[in-house]
Structure 1
Amino acid sequence: MTSLSRIALGVFAAACCAASASAVAQPYDPSAPMTRAQVRADLAEWRAAGYDPLDWIDYPENAQRAGAIVAARRAARTSGGMPQPMQ
């Protein structure tokens, strides 16, 4: 292996390491596509907060209340605190 190809291989490896490190450090983007497992976990979290996708009679209020609960729980997880009780 020549020294030029070793240098090129080293530059390529360094670029790959830098690209993977920046990909891991990306902040959470709610508009980014989710995996099937993430969607299922999100639905389970909404259902645990009281959302019922089949309750179309109380639909807007049911979804808004559960959304507020889920948002409060996520905020508490990121801040490390306890979620505040909903009124």
Structure 2
Amino acid sequence: MKCFALSVIVWLLTTPLLAFAQQSGPIITKAQVKEELVQLEQAGYTPSMRSRHYPDDIRAAQARVNEKFSGQTGNGAPGAGSSGSTNN
């Protein structure tokens, strides 16, 4: 019984820590993910599980999207939810 009580206490103490660890970064909505995928597809990326050029093809499309947004906004930052990097 002591073992069970101890395990319940440990679980109660660690659960908030584990829940907090999952919230690391901005929250991205499903609509933002879909919008980014549409932008990547318009930039020439075709999602496929059999692509021999992945991740190079998505990086190239992300670079084109970033260039498009840097020309429009002047700060080089695409819309919220984008986390691509163009450093090669």
Choose between structure 1 and 2 for higher RCO, CA contacts under 8 A separated by at least 6 residues: 2
State the TM-score, normalized to the length of structure 2.
0.49
TM superposition score normalised by structure 1: 0.50
Q: Which has the higher helix share?
A: 1
Larger Rg: 1
